[in-house]
Structure 1
């Protein structure tokens, strides 16, 4: 999508937009151009066309869209890109008015000012460089008096993804104290910024990763055994919250959600038959969140945005599915963590691999509603939810539910 013209007419912003597939996409463009952080309330009229997505305007037809923001009415003209529109699942043009708009773009000058608020850095010379790879945040490397630190500026509405910045800070400080996470050098809780030491290391592909599995498991056990955290990440509620929040922002969950939610309830009931205490979990064990020293055995655990009290088997399943462990890898994982593989442990691991994919898919559904990134979260959600359904359709699933109801420790 591209904005081809922008001008002010009688104190009303008018945008001419090309290559926009639907009105909800238009709202995304408007927010990007105007720097709005809140959702826009699209009026329920699109010229002569219906207001729901999936009914595209005719070739070359211009469509008017009324948008109500907190500070007045904005009017737009939407011109379809030509050709039929392929609707994304469940998206609607009427999104609901929310908070007051605030700018979400930050310049380098803004970041400098932000970093200078860290105690002890007020008068220091600060060099900033972008650190690429973030999805929900904008990251920078700050060099201050020879020390290199990672400065993360939160993205917009990340709380809807299950992120609580206070919980994140507590978990990051805990990991640093345990020697498994980078040192926390500063935090600005009013805006959710966390500043941590930049630690050296590299990420591993799945094959060499399995060779370092003993160190990874030891790291997880250390975190799991470290005592309660204030925040929680109850996985069966998290997927429900994602469905609720996506719906409130105009994206109806895919039809697979209902089927998978029923399976989630069955998994929850099976685990409840022989409950385990919740433990501090990372809850986002992607390969990119594990950093391995170049010359040494040390492994760093990074990015505690989703950390909170949860079932330890979710971390294990999350690690397995995200890092591509096969059957032998799963067996090795359980032996390293527990000492031996039992039917209950095996079943719980497999069922939590399913819950990991369910949660990841629903996370992407929420991203469809709130993200300003040029990322195909629809395809990503379809992929992860599809994998979840394949796991649930395996012939062993029913036996896993039976086995999971037995004690695992």
Structure 2
């Protein structure tokens, strides 16, 4: 893991030399920090990292640094470092430690490539430095949204407008959509696991991967008929990756580690799935009127009420069909995490939550898509 991420850091440093206007201020370090350390044990290593990355702080006394945890999700650990400089100024940075084994499901090279261009376009925190198993970014003074926040009409409209702008950012490299490549890669890894824990192995053995594969093939064939636009997508737009400064009324999209070129409908459908929150209460999935409100502000941010019924219906079908792919994607992701992640989370249970919801919703949205497609051909 460390060697791969150090190599990525060197790649970013090379990009900085080649594109001085874009990323000349991105620093790199080969240091790594043990994700499992307690905060008191981690603090001196974090200070050493900051001093290695940023020469202006290299001679500051350790007492001028303070460290606190911002969040500890099921993928990364986020820490805020406050630095009191000798001139009396105070600076804040965010250190993100990649979760152990996350490079199995996250393409860190792709993330670092994209984040420079997204940051330049005004999205997320500014990338300041990269190191062996993480990155340092500017600190965003804002609160993280909760799942109920996302369905508030004013915030939903703002998320839609920001997502439209996000989708318009051009990232160099291949524009090939990654959804089915990623699902295929996840399937290959998820279908050959073996758990040391007998109970987990017993649960795992109840999964029919032949059935899962059939579902993937069938859904891929259907979505291909929709000709959905390909955009650079966030792919993980849950409430934890949205922040808002209430005083300035500014919304931030953050954490682009799953970002890739992908189908527009997948990004939107995946976001709608996140209305269910961390408890996966899918009764909270947005109803048609809520979705149409979102679509209007996504399709025509300046004149949302001039969006045609035809365009609303087309995006409704697209988003809800790709919503099904979101369930398959994260279900397979969860199986890999169940084996690889040291984090105490019921990933196996999460697989069944997502896969069973896929099966529950499948008939309704397959029928919707096929009816729409037959009507389009007739027209």
- Answer whether TM exceeds 0.5 for this pair: yes
Q: Distance in 2 between matches of 1:344 and 1:296?
A: 34
Q: In the alignment, does 2:274 pair up with 1:333?
A: no
8 A Cα contact 1:314 1:352, kept in partner? yes
**Residues 216 and 143 (structure 1 numbering): CA distance in 2 closer, same or farther, change over 3 Å?**
same
What is the DSSP-based 3-state SS (H/G/I as helix, E as strand, rest coil) of the residue aligned with 2:329? helix
Alignment of 1:9-408 (within 5 A): 105-106=36-37, 107-108=41-42, 109-120=44-55, 121-124=57-60, 125-144=64-83, 145=85, 146-161=90-105, 163-188=106-131, 191-210=132-151, 211=153, 212-230=155-173, 234-250=178-194, 255=207, 257-273=209-225, 275-323=227-275, 324-338=285-299, 339-342=307-310, 343-394=313-364, 396-401=365-370, 403=372
What is the DSSP-based 3-state SS (H/G/I as helix, E as strand, rest coil) of the residue aligned with 2:100? coil
What is the DSSP-based 3-state SS (H/G/I as helix, E as strand, rest coil) of the residue aligned with 2:144? coil
Q: Higher strand fraction: Structure 1 or Structure 2? A: 1
**Residues 377 and 111 (structure 1 numbering): CA distance in 2 closer, same or farther, change over 3 Å?**
same
8 A Cα contact 1:313 1:352, kept in partner? yes
**Residues 372 and 133 (structure 1 numbering): CA distance in 2 closer, same or farther, change over 3 Å?**
same
Aligned pair count reads: 304
Query: What RMSD over aligned residues (CA atoms) do the two structures have, in Å?
Result: 2.8
What is the DSSP-based 3-state SS (H/G/I as helix, E as strand, rest coil) of the residue aligned with 2:53? coil
Pairwise CA distance, 1:118: 1.4
8 A Cα contact 2:189 2:336, kept in partner? yes
8 A Cα contact 2:101 2:340, kept in partner? yes
**Residues 208 and 368 (structure 1 numbering): CA distance in 2 closer, same or farther, change over 3 Å?**
closer
Pairwise CA distance, 1:203: 3.1
Q: Distance in 1 between matches of 2:327 and 2:206?
A: 14
Relative to the length of structure 2, the TM-score reads: 0.72
Pairwise CA distance, 1:171: 2.7
8 A Cα contact 1:169 1:194, kept in partner? no
Query: Comparing 283-292 with 263-272, which one deviates more in the overlay?
Result: 263-272
Task: Map Cα deviations across residues 44-98 of structure 1 (whole Å, 9 max, x no partner).
Answer: xxxxxxxxxxxxxxxxxxxxxxxxxxxxxxxxxxxxxxxxxxxxxxxxxxxxxxx
8 A Cα contact 2:244 2:252, kept in partner? yes
Gaps of at least 5 residues in structure 2 are: 3-32, 196-203, 276-284, 300-306
Q: Which residue matches 1:98?
A: none
What is the DSSP-based 3-state SS (H/G/I as helix, E as strand, rest coil) of the residue aligned with 2:255? coil
**Residues 386 and 341 (structure 1 numbering): CA distance in 2 closer, same or farther, change over 3 Å?**
farther
What is the DSSP-based 3-state SS (H/G/I as helix, E as strand, rest coil) of the residue aligned with 1:117? helix
What is the DSSP-based 3-state SS (H/G/I as helix, E as strand, rest coil) of the residue aligned with 1:393? helix
8 A Cα contact 2:183 2:332, kept in partner? yes
Larger of the two Rg values belongs to structure: 1
Pairwise CA distance, 1:275: 2.9
**Residues 347 and 104 (structure 1 numbering): CA distance in 2 closer, same or farther, change over 3 Å?**
same
Pairwise CA distance, 1:269: 2.5
Larger relative contact order, structure 1 or 2 (CA cutoff 8 Å, min sep 6): 2
Pairwise CA distance, 1:328: 1.7
Q: Distance in 1 between matches of 2:161 and 2:335?
A: 33
Pairwise CA distance, 1:104: 6.0
Q: Distance in 2 between matches of 1:362 and 1:155?
A: 18
8 A Cα contact 2:81 2:92, kept in partner? yes
**Residues 341 and 262 (structure 1 numbering): CA distance in 2 closer, same or farther, change over 3 Å?**
farther
Q: Higher helix fraction: Structure 1 or Structure 2? A: 2
Relative to the length of structure 1, the TM-score reads: 0.67
**Residues 199 and 104 (structure 1 numbering): CA distance in 2 closer, same or farther, change over 3 Å?**
closer
Q: Which residue matches 1:68?
A: none
What is the DSSP-based 3-state SS (H/G/I as helix, E as strand, rest coil) of the residue aligned with 2:351? helix
Task: Map Cα deviations across residues 200-243 of structure 1 (whole Å, 9 max, x no partner).
Answer: 22233444433211211111111111113547662122222112
Q: Which residue matches 2:7?
A: none
